Structure 1
């Protein structure tokens, strides 16, 4: 996806039940305090949520996941690359509900999130 490439997001693990993506720590991704910008982390969360919905889709399902709700709880500041791991807590016919945990490279919690996705 062009947006993911522009942000530098990379897939670290891909399975039907969980996807992990990495967000790099670069100067252009920081805030005024010199830590990773919350909007960058939120974008990574949205991207990994979409990825796990696609990863777990039934073969031949060509519907596009569209984020309908995204809630983030920031737990700490990141001063290194971050890893976001997404799992589907519920997968319905038209909606998927995704839980995301974001950590820094040492495993320290940075954020948790919940994303609702409509399949259309």
Structure 2
């Protein structure tokens, strides 16, 4: 029996995740250096008017960090892990726009992976940045 790689696992996991489905998340790019995820604008994710809720943006950052962590071709016997820590800085309001999260792997260890994430709107304006640390179980 062949053990799946982390990237194979995450490519199968994200589309099947009810939470990712609720947010409409999709993987635009995935490799060992990082990942790019799209979250389409949905009025159900707005907090006031057409402003995207900060919790939705934080979830996008967290998920992009997780996907980037799992983006290498390392075989994995277990499809388990968790965010150990995360920080978010909101730079500008995201209004009625799809959002793209670009997560870059800063360091990948045996059990921990550290990512920097930048979220931009349709006009490439930065709306949030974040740091994510993911632990492989």
Taking the TM superposition and a 5 Å limit, the aligned residue runs for 1:16-95 are 16-60=32-76, 62-79=78-95, 80-95=97-112
Structure 1 residue runs of 5 or longer lacking an equivalent are none
Root-mean-square deviation over aligned CA pairs = 1.3
Per the normalisation by structure 1, the TM-score is 0.93
| Paired position in structure 1 for 2:123 | 106
Structure 2 residue runs of 5 or longer lacking an equivalent are 1-16
Per the normalisation by structure 2, the TM-score is 0.82
How many residue pairs get aligned? The number is 120
Would the alpha carbon gap of residues 93 and 63 (structure 1) be closer, same or farther in structure 2, given more than 3 Å must change? Answer: farther
For the pair shown, the structure with the greater C-alpha radius of gyration is: 2
Deviates more, 1:55-64 or 1:42-51: 55-64
Whether 1:2 aligns to 2:2 is no
1:54–1:65 Cα contact (<8 Å) kept: no
